[in-house]
Amino acid sequence: MDRLTEAQAAELWRKGFMQSTTGDTTVIYSPYFEFEHFVAEQGAVLRLVISLGPERVPKDSPLNGAEQQAQLNELLADGFLEFVAELVVLNLGEAPLEAELGELQVDYFRDNLDSAFTIAPGSCAYSPPQAYVALAYATELNASITLSLNGQPLVLQGKAQRLTVEELHSKYGPEQ
C-alpha cells in the first residue's frame, strides 16, 4: 500500500484511521476494533465493536456538550480520539435469547451497561453505546464483558483487535 501524505494522514486520523509503516511495509488501520466470542450452548455470537472518531458518539453524550468542546479539542490535538464501544449480541439459535448486560471494560474505561432484552432467532441487538476519549494509537485493547444469556452468567475477557482496512473490506465488503 502506498504511503499517505501528511495532509491525507491527518484527515484520516480525525476519522479514526491510522497509518503504520515498518521498513517497506505500510498498513492502514481502520477506525474499528472487534472482539468476538461464540457461545455454542446458547447459539450466540457476542461482538464488541469499538469505533473511533465522532461518527458513533451519541447526540446526548457529554462529549458533545459545549462545555467539554474546548477540552476535547485539546485532547484531539494530543492524539486522543472519541471511542464508542457497543456490544452486539447475535442470536444464531432457533429460540429467543434473553440477554442481561452487566459491566463493560475496555482498557481503563469501565461502565455498567445495565440493559436487558430478548433477541428473536436470526436477529441481533445492540447495547447502549458507551462513549469516552482515549489515546488512539493502539492496535489492540483489553476487553472484559459481564453478562448473562438465558440466565447463564458469563465473563468474557480478551483483546479487541483493530482491523486493518484490508481486513474490514474482506469481512464486511469494500463499501465499508
Three cell numbers written together for 117? 432484552
- Rg (alpha carbons) of the chain, rounded to whole number: 17
Residues 8-17 have a mean pLDDT of 72
Q: Distance between CA atoms of 110 and 58, rounded to whole angstroms?
A: 17
Burial of 73 (0-12, 13-18, 19+ CB in 10 A): exposed
Average pLDDT, the chain: 87
Alpha helices, DSSP H, located in 78-140: none
Three cell numbers written together for 50? 469499538
Residues 14-33 have a mean pLDDT of 83
What pLDDT shows up at residue 2? 63
Domain-by-domain residue ranges, the chain? 32-160
Q: Which residue has the higher pLDDT, 44 or 25?
A: 44
Q: Distance between CA atoms of 172 and 88, rounded to whole angstroms?
A: 15
Q: Distance between CA atoms of 147 and 166, rounded to whole angstroms?
A: 32
Domain over 32-160 is classified CATH 2.60.40: yes
Report the phi/psi class of residue 150: left, alpha or beta, with left for phi > 0 and alpha for psi in -120 to 50: left
Residues 165-171 have a mean pLDDT of 90
CA torsion angle 118 61 108 72 (round to 10): 160
- What is the phi/psi pair of residue 145, to 5°? -130, 130
Amino acid at 76: L
pLDDT digits (tens, 9 = 90+) for 57-115: 888 877 777 777 777 777 777 778 888 999 999 999 999 999 999 999 999 899 998 89
Q: Residue 164's closest CA among 139, 132, 141?
A: 139
Q: Distance between CA atoms of 119 and 42, rounded to whole angstroms?
A: 12
Q: Distance between CA atoms of 118 and 5, rounded to whole angstroms?
A: 48
Residue 50 has pLDDT above 60, yes or no: yes
